[in-house]
């Protein structure tokens, strides 16, 4: 690049590389989705089309950004996890966040008509904010994921009961709110069951658990952790050869990206998919 007297302005750029050797989570969240959901008459409390559209966009993001190991989505938000060894964009926060936000938004708009077949998008168009947070340990990362899933559960149980009181019980918003004030989970389950014959356990898994997106390889059977999978997967090599890195990249690019609605709080999900938190694809 030719030198010019203007080039000194580069010095104004500030470094924003995220702490090395930490798990990076980029969480995106729909901007003003309360209003957006009303505009497009999203079903309350859960709109299957809206949630599946979020999942389709997240899946597409994972297809384009190979460095993401797992993602979790609920409501108008999605969390994307980068492995602690990730070196994409030299771990620059602004690059990581802006890439995820723009890729996600682009696919959200792209897939809109697939899920909302008879409601074309009109301005103001959907947009998302994003942030990056570093988690130093696997435990911190797992606790982060658990936090989001617990949030999903608490909100969904509340919302399901709240809207049942309104839609099936004929209450207005304030009455429903008063009815639920100070209630525990067991009380809400009881209201759903005794008043509306709804067994909360039978509600769709996507609503109760949110959505987890990951690359699918052969499952490890419970109790056989470390044995039925190539031991190489679990090792954390100090330095990897170029061919090995290239092979990993190809293997990752070929893997099927799946969306499931599973418990990610208990160990089982992670134990059966050791590649998610290991050093390998």
Residue ranges that bind Mg ion, judged by CB under 5 A: 29-30, 33, 75-77
CB atoms closer than 10 angstroms to residue 153 = 18
To which H or E segment does residue 209 belong?
helix 205-209
Size of the site for ligand DGT (CB under 6 A): 16
3-state secondary structure 131-191: EEEEECCHHHHHHHHHHHHHHHHHHHHHHHHHHHHHHCCCCCHHHHHHHHCCCCHHHHHHH
Positions 21 through 40 that interact with ligand DGT (CB under 6 A): 29-34, 37
For CA atoms 186, 188, 194, 196, the dihedral sign is negative
User: From ligand DGT, Mg ion, none, which one binds at residue 175 (CB under 5 to 8 Å depending on kind)?
Assistant: none
Least separation in angstroms between residue 166's CB and ligand DGT is 12
User: From Mg ion, ligand DGT, none, which one binds at residue 226 (CB under 5 to 8 Å depending on kind)?
Assistant: none
Least separation in angstroms between residue 31's CB and Mg ion is 6
What CA–CA distance (Å, rounded) separates 198 from 202?
8
173 binds ligand DGT (CB under 6 A): no
Nearest of 62, 52, 65, 71 to residue 111 by alpha carbon: 52
Q: How far apart are the first and last CA of the chain?
A: 36
Question: Which range in 44-52, 184-192, 228-236, 260-268 contacts ligand DGT by CB under 6 A?
Answer: 44-52
| 22 vs 55, beta carbon nearer ligand DGT | 55
| 23 vs 78, beta carbon nearer Mg ion | 78
104 binds ligand DGT (CB under 6 A): no
53 binds ligand DGT (CB under 6 A): no
Residues 6+ apart with CB under 8 A from 213: 55, 58, 59, 62, 70, 71, 72, 73, 257, 258, 259
Residue 124: CA atoms inside 13 Å, Cβ hemisphere, count? 12
| 35 vs 181, beta carbon nearer ligand DGT | 35
User: From Mg ion, ligand DGT, none, which one binds at residue 73 (CB under 5 to 8 Å depending on kind)?
Assistant: none
Residues 6+ apart with CB under 8 A from 36: 30, 76, 126
User: From Mg ion, ligand DGT, none, which one binds at residue 47 (CB under 5 to 8 Å depending on kind)?
Assistant: ligand DGT
| 75 vs 160, beta carbon nearer ligand DGT | 75
Least separation in angstroms between residue 3's CB and ligand DGT is 44
Residues forming the site for ligand DGT (CB under 6 A): 29-34, 37, 42-44, 46-47, 50-51, 75-76
């Amino acid at each position: 690049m030719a030198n010019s007297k203007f080039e000194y302005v580069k010095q104004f750029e500030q470094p924003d590389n995220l702490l090395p050797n930490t798990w990076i989570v980029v969480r995106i969240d729909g901007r003003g989705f309360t209003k957006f959901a009303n505009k497009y008459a999203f079903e309350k409390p859960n709109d299957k089309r809206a949630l599946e559209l979020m999942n389709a966009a997240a899946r597409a993001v994972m297809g384009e950004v190979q460095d993401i190991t797992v993602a979790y989505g609920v409501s108008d938000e999605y969390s994307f996890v980068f492995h602690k060894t990730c070196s994409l964009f030299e771990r620059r926060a602004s690059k990581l966040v802006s890439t995820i936000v723009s890729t996600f938004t682009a696919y959200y708009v792209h897939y809109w008509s697939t899920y909302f077949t008879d409601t074309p998008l009109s301005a103001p168009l959907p947009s998302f904010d994003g942030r990056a947070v570093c988690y130093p340990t696997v435990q911190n990362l797992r606790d982060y994921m658990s936090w989001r899933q617990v949030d999903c559960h608490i909100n969904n149980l509340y919302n399901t009961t709240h809207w049942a009181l309104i839609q099936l019980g004929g209450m207005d918003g304030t009455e429903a709110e008063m009815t639920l004030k100070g209630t525990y989970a067991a009380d809400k389950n009881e209201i759903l069951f005794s008043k509306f014959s709804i067994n909360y356990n039978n509600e769709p898994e996507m609503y109760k658990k949110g959505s987890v997106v990951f690359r699918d390889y052969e499952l490890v059977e419970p109790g056989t952790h470390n044995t039925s999978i190539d031991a190489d997967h679990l090792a954390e090599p100090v330095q990897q050869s170029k061919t090995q890195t290239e092979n990993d990249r190809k293997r990752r690019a070929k893997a099927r990206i799946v969306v499931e609605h599973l418990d990610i709080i208990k160990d089982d999900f992670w134990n059966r998919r050791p590649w998610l938190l290991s050093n390998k694809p």
